[in-house]
Homo-oligomer: A and B are copies of this chain.
Amino acid sequence: MRAKGTKGVARFSISLPGELAEQLDRMTREKGYDNRSLAIGDMIRAHLVEHRQRLGDEEIAGTITLLYDHHQRHVQTALTDIQHDHHTVIIATLHVHLDHHNCMEVLAVRGKAAPIKRIADELIAAKGVKHGKLTVTSTGKDLPG
């Protein structure tokens, strides 16, 4: 599974749901990339930048927004288990039933930045979650009006 020739060019296979691969190809064309690999490379770089934003010890408030299909086996149980493990930083969760399948869940959070980022990563990586985002604001204490 290890990518070969890692210092020069690495070539490896990936598997995606067919429909997602189709939409990737359309976006690759629309954005003007010559090929899929270049498009994916840029996405990875963009995510690395975000991932490395070292959030530390500062107190933040914010939200974690999740989109998922609640019919996916176990997704909701998994999300609730993760949330209860961290119930001291999660103030409350707003759940919106978008349609028969799709849910948007918004967690209002408050606490140290680093652990909140880890919780967000864990929730977004959970199987069945289609899309997720951590939105950080301040607790307002050190932010003059």
A residues in contact (CB < 8 Å) with B? 1-3, 5-25, 27, 30-33, 35-49, 51, 61-63, 65, 67-70, 72, 76-77, 80-81, 83-85, 87, 90-104, 106, 108, 110, 121-122, 124-125, 127-133, 135, 137-141, 143-145
Contact = CB atoms under 8 A, between A and B. Distances in A.
Total copies of the chain: 4
A31 B125 contact: yes
B18 A10 contact: yes
17 contacts: A1-B36, A3-B16, A9-B16, A10-B15, A15-B37, A20-B41, A31-B51, A31-B124, A32-B121, A42-B124, A83-B97, A84-B100, A85-B100, A92-B94, A98-B139, A99-B140, A104-B137
